[in-house]
Chain A
Amino acid sequence: MHQQLTSLSDKELISRTRKLKDREAEGVLMDRYSHLLVAITLPQLHKNPSLDPNVVFPGLLQRLSASLRTQSIYKANEWMLHIQRGYMAKQEKILPFYPSREVRDFLHIENIVEKASTNTIDRQELIVRLEQALQRLPEEDREILQEFYIEQKTFADLTASRGWNRDKVRHQLKAAKNKLAKLYINQSHVK
C-alpha cells in the first residue's frame, strides 16, 4: 500500500487524505517534503538556538496536517512553504494560502499543458499560441527564456554571460514567465 502511494502525485495524495481520511497518504505526502522542510527550517534553527527540533518539527507537521484538511491546495510546495513561514513567524492562526492572480494564470497554463501532453492536436495549437505569445514578449525576456528553456543553458551559464547572480537570473526568469503567461491568457481571451 505504502509503495503504491509513493507513486501517486501530490494532488492525488491530498484528495485521498481528504476524501478517504487516509492517514497513510498524508504520511507519504509529508515524507515526500520532509527533507525540504528540514532544509528551509535549518537557518532558523541556527539563528534561534532556543528552538528545539524535537518540538518544532512535530508542531509543524501538526499544523500542516490541520491545514491539509481545510485548505484548498493548488501546489503542495507553495502551500508547505507558506505554512512553514507562518509557523516560524509564530503566527497563532493558520493564514490560508491564496494564490495570487499571476500564480493562478500560471497554474491554468500548467494545467492546459498537462492536458495537451496526450493530445497532439491540442498540443500543436498550444505550441503555436505559445510561440505567438513569446514573439510579443520584450526582447530581454524572450532571450532569457529561449536561452534557458530552448538552448538548455544552466544557471551558471546565464550568470556568467550576463554578470548577474543566480538570484537575479531566477527572478528574471520568473518575471518573464509571468509575463508570458499573462500574454497567453489575454490571447485566449481575445480569441
Chain B
Amino acid sequence: MLNNSSHNDKVIKIFSGIRCLSKDQLPRYLEGRLTDVEKHLVEQHLADCDLCFEAIQALEKESNTDQYNDLTGKLQRYIQQSILPVSHVQKVAQYTRKERTKENLLVYFWLIAFGVLGVSGVYVLKGHMRNAPTMPRLMVSSVAPVPETKDTTTTAATQVDNGEKPVAAQPIIAANHATPAHQSAPAPAPNPAPATPIPTANTTAIPPTKPAPAPVKVDSVKLKQLALERAAKKKARADSLAKVQAATAEAKKQDSLKKAAAAAEKEEQDREAAEKQANAAKAQAAPPSDPVKKEEPKKDAPALTNSDENLYKAAMQLQQQGSINEAMDRYRRIEANGNGKYVEMARYQLAICYRSKGQMGKARRMFKEVVKMDGSLKTAAQQALDTM
C-alpha cells in the first residue's frame, strides 16, 4: 500500500512543471557533474522543454565552451547595463514627477488657502464695520444738527432782547447761516469754532440786529414761512420756565460741545468765562421775558422733536465718550420739555446713567417711571429693573 501510494505520487511528476536549466546547471549537466536527483529533474524538464534541449544539443557540439561563456557574460552585462539603469532613470523620473505634482498641489492649496483667508477676512471686517459703527454715525449726525439747537438758543436770546417775532425769526436764520460754516467743521479747524460761538453767546446781551441784515438777503422765504408755521402750531405748549431752562441748558450744551470740539484748553477757559457772563445775562434777562417766551416754544415746538432728537443723539455721544454728567444734563432737558417718545428714551438713558454712577435708588425710580409710561422701552426697563 505504501509502495502503491509512493508510486501514485510519482504519477503526478509527469505533469509537474520544472524551471529551465540555470546558468549553473547547464554546464554541469553537460559535464555529468549533477547528482542523480538533480539529473532526473533536469531530464524531466528536458523531455518537455525545447529551448533547453536545443541549448544542450548546441553546446554538446561545441568543442570548447569559451565562446559560450564569453557571450553569456557579455549579454548579461549588456542586459544589466541597458535595462537596469533605464529602470533607475525611470524611477528617478517618476520620483521627480511625483514631487512636481506634489509641489503643484501645494501651490494650489496655498493659493486657495490664501484666497479663503482673504475672503473671510473681508467678511469679518465687513461684519465688524456693520456692528461697530454706531460711534462714527453718531458723530456725523451730532455735528450737523448742532446748528439747529444753537438756533433755538440764539433765537431765545435774541427774542429776549427784541421781543419781536419777525426780527427774531430773521436772526434765527442768520445764526443758521453763520453757524453751519464753522459748526460743520469743528474738528478739523477748532480755532474758528470757538471764535464764532463766543460772539453768539455774547450777543445774547448785545442786540442781534447786526447779523440780521446780511442774512435777510440770503434767507429764503420758505424758511421764514416754516418758522412761522411752527410757531403757530405749538403756541400753547411750552412754559416760560422751561424755556429759561432750555436756554441755559442750551448754553451749557454749547459749552460742552465746544469743549469736545476744541482741543485748546485756554480757549475753553476763555469761552467758559464768556459764557458764564452770558448765562448770567440770560438769567437776568429771562425772568422779565416770561410773557414773550410763552409764545416762543410755539415757535420752537415744531423743531422740538428734531431738536429733541439732536439733543438725544448728542447726549448719547457724550455718554459714550464718558462724560455722563453732561449727558444726564441733556437727558434731563429732554425729559423736561420733550415729547413722548424722547422723554421716555431720555428717562431710560437717565436711569442707565444713574445706574452706571451707582445711584441705584434714582435709577430704579427712573426705570419705574419708564415702565409707567408704558412705551416701547417698557420691557427693557422692566428687565433692567428685574436685574438690578
Question: Residues on A close to B: CB < 8 A?
Answer: 2, 21-24, 26-27, 30-40, 42-43, 53-54, 57-58, 61, 76-78, 80-81, 106, 109-110, 112-114, 116-117, 123, 126-127, 130-131, 134, 145, 148-150, 152, 154-155, 170, 173-174, 177, 180-181
Tell me the minimal C-beta distance from B312 to chain A in angstroms: 82
Tell me whether A81 and B14 are in contact in the complex, defined as CB-CB below 8 angstroms, given that A23-B83, A27-B80, A30-B83 are known contacts.
no
Q: How far is the CA of A100 from the CA of B44 in the complex (A)?
A: 21
Q: Is B387 an interface residue (CB 8 A)?
A: no
Out of A22, A109, A155, name the residue touching B15 (CB < 8 Å): A109
- B11 pairs with A150, CB closer than 8 A: yes
The number of residues on chain B lying at the interface, defined by a beta carbon within 8 Å of a beta carbon of chain A, is: 51
- B51 pairs with A77, CB closer than 8 A: yes
Q: Is B114 an interface residue (CB 8 A)?
A: no
Q: Which residue of A lies closest to B16 (CB)?
A: A113
Tell me whether A155 and B10 are in contact in the complex, defined as CB-CB below 8 angstroms, given that A34-B76, A39-B55 are known contacts.
no
Out of B12, B43, B61, B75, name the residue touching A38 (CB < 8 Å): B75
Interface string of B65-109 (1 = CB under 8 A from A): 001100110111011101110110010000000000000000000
- B9 pairs with A81, CB closer than 8 A: no
- B79 pairs with A34, CB closer than 8 A: yes
Out of B11, B67, B78, name the residue touching A130 (CB < 8 Å): B11
Q: Is the interface of A mostly helix, strand, loop or mixed?
A: helix
Tell me whether A123 and B40 are in contact in the complex, defined as CB-CB below 8 angstroms, given that A57-B71, A150-B7 are known contacts.
no
- B16 pairs with A110, CB closer than 8 A: yes
- A154 pairs with B11, CB closer than 8 A: no
Q: How far is the CA of A126 from the CA of B12 in the complex (A)?
A: 8
Question: Residues on B close to A: CB < 8 A?
Answer: 7-17, 20-21, 23, 26, 36, 39-40, 43-44, 46-56, 58-59, 61-62, 67-68, 71-72, 74-76, 78-80, 82-84, 86-87, 90
Q: How far is the CA of A76 from the CA of B20 in the complex (A)?
A: 9
Tell me the minimal C-beta distance from B72 to chain A in angstroms: 5
- A181 pairs with B51, CB closer than 8 A: no
For B68, list chain A residues within 8 Å (CB). 35, 38-39, 42
Counting from the closest, the 8 A-B pairs by CB-CB distance are: A27-B83, A39-B55, A23-B87, A77-B51, A24-B87, A81-B51, A150-B10, A173-B47
Out of B13, B14, B51, name the residue touching A40 (CB < 8 Å): B51
- B79 pairs with A30, CB closer than 8 A: yes
- A58 pairs with B78, CB closer than 8 A: yes
Out of B14, B21, B79, B82, name the residue touching A36 (CB < 8 Å): B21
Q: Which residue of A lies closest to B5 (CB)?
A: A127
- B75 pairs with A57, CB closer than 8 A: yes
- B8 pairs with A127, CB closer than 8 A: yes
Out of B15, B23, B46, name the residue touching A113 (CB < 8 Å): B15
**Extra contacts besides A27-B80, A154-B43 (11): CB < 8 Å:** A22-B87, A23-B84, A24-B84, A27-B79, A35-B68, A35-B72, A36-B52, A57-B75, A81-B54, A148-B43, A174-B48
Tell me the minimal C-beta distance from B284 to chain A in angstroms: 109
Q: How far is the CA of A89 from the CA of B306 in the complex (A)?
A: 113
- B79 pairs with A31, CB closer than 8 A: yes
Q: How far is the CA of A106 from the CA of B48 in the complex (A)?
A: 10
Q: Which residue of B lies closest to A31 (CB)?
A: B79
Q: Which residue of A lies closest to B23 (CB)?
A: A35
- B12 pairs with A77, CB closer than 8 A: no
- B90 pairs with A23, CB closer than 8 A: yes
For A145, list chain B residues within 8 Å (CB). 14
- B84 pairs with A2, CB closer than 8 A: yes
- A170 pairs with B21, CB closer than 8 A: no
Please name 14 pairs of A and B residues whose Cβ atoms are closer than 8 Å in the assembled complex, sorted by A: A31-B76, A31-B80, A35-B72, A38-B75, A42-B62, A113-B12, A127-B11, A145-B14, A150-B7, A152-B40, A154-B40, A177-B15, A177-B47, A177-B48
Q: How far is the CA of A39 from the CA of B26 in the complex (A)?
A: 10
